[in-house]
Structure 1
Amino acid sequence: MIHLGVEAPAEAGAREILLDRTMGEGRFTKSSERLREGRLPAEGLALVARDGDSIVGTVRLWNVSAGGRDALLLGPLAVAPELQGEGVGSKLMRLALNRAAAAGHGAIVLVGDAPYYSRFGFANGLTARLLMPGPVDRNRFLALELRSGALAGARGLIVPTGDLVAPALVPDLAERLPVRLAA
């Protein structure tokens, strides 16, 4: 039986293995990754699906500024290949949206499959004046207001605002950064 809950710190490794299985190394080259690098997920919004002791699904939300408005960035959402189509991803999404709304967050942005995310209310109209920190397919750049008007007047670059991870916890971060500074 699948159980949903908050990701425990000790589950980070299992989560990364699941992401490698479902998304591969290419996930580190995506624009959304630039917003997540070196940051902690929003408080209480790193969620997992467990089958016994195994992590079989994951979703995280991250604090960002979306054109001057506080928002969350959702992603990645991943489900073990053998459970895809079983509703695990939808259940994780509903839990994430409910927890974000209950915590008082006003809006969520993401880059993803529009037909999938539209069933949860995401659309690309709210992102028309927003920019990602890198290339993005505008049809896949979506947003949802949890509170009406939360993205009103939002214009400009999406930037990370969440807490930083302690450097010792991400020893290979410097290797993944696109630019290195000379010493």
Structure 2
Amino acid sequence: MAAVLDAALSFFRKAEFTIDAEHPGDVVQRERLLDRAMGPGRKRKSSEAIRRGRVPAQGLALVARDLDGHVIGTVRLWHVEAGVGPDGAGIPALLLGPLAVDAAYEGKGIGGALMRAAITEAAARGHGAILLVGDPEYYERFGFFAEKAAHLVMPGPFERRRFLGLELKAGWLTGAAGLLVGTGTRLSHPGIAKVA
């Protein structure tokens, strides 16, 4: 994991949890956590259609672990094209999600720590913007606002007020309009798509 992420998270290593890069052995724990936190309808969301069959952006799949090493939180970011800009070229960005924390650990700052870690690492890796679908009441504290995604649409049903953007580089989403399209690396084994 990048040195920037390690430095930014040194505080959290002293807490009841740590933030770490997701490892292949975390898949089962992560999927069970997501099933509990988001319910059976989670795979029908528009954002899931973008992620399906793809791998997360390099270095941007993070987990929170309890002191015994169990996965108690997760966040992942995915490569997308955020419509096109005024010049007609596609605008590369990231789609954040899902973010989830085990209910037994809610209220301990884990979700916020995962968000800050994801944003810090995405910025350190040179990405220009992050988009997500979520409650503005929660995500605005991290700098996500509906205005940044006002002219973008998801590939399926979504609530306009919950489609939010954060520019990591000033003006990155200026003039962006159109459909969000997944652009990340595809899984090499179709059977793995169910757990990715």
Q: Normalised by the size of structure 1, how large is the TM-score?
A: 0.92
Counterpart-to-counterpart distance in 1, 2:64 and 2:174: 34
Question: Does the Cα contact within 8 Å between 2:54 and 2:193 map onto a contact in 1?
Answer: no
Q: Does 1:65 align with 2:65?
A: no
Q: Does 1:149 align with 2:171?
A: yes
1:13 to 3, 28, 34: 28
**Mapping of 1:87-166 within 5 angstroms?**
87-166=109-188
**Mapping of 1:48-63 within 5 angstroms?**
48-51=63-66, 52-63=68-79
Stretches (4+) displaced over 6 A:
none
Partner of 2:6: none
Q: CA deviation at 1:9?
A: 1.0
1:77 to 85, 99, 112: 99
Counterpart-to-counterpart distance in 2, 1:80 and 1:160: 27
Q: CA deviation at 1:85?
A: 1.2
Are residues 58 and 138 of structure 1, via their aligned partners in 2, closer, same or farther at CA, if it must alter by over 3 Å?
same
Q: Normalised by the size of structure 2, how large is the TM-score?
A: 0.86
Counterpart-to-counterpart distance in 1, 2:50 and 2:190: 19
Q: CA deviation at 1:53?
A: 2.3
Superposed CA RMSD in Å reads 1.2
Partner of 1:178: none
Same amino acid, percent of matched pairs? 55
Partner of 1:179: none
Q: CA deviation at 1:4?
A: 0.5
Are residues 115 and 9 of structure 1, via their aligned partners in 2, closer, same or farther at CA, if it must alter by over 3 Å?
same
| CA deviation map 1:113-146 (0-9, x unaligned) | 1100000000000111101000110000000000
Counterpart-to-counterpart distance in 1, 2:120 and 2:149: 21
Unaligned runs of 5+ in 1: 174-183
| CA deviation map 1:68-108 (0-9, x unaligned) | 21000000000000111110000000000000000000000
Q: CA deviation at 1:56?
A: 0.1
Question: Does the Cα contact within 8 Å between 2:96 and 2:130 map onto a contact in 1?
Answer: yes
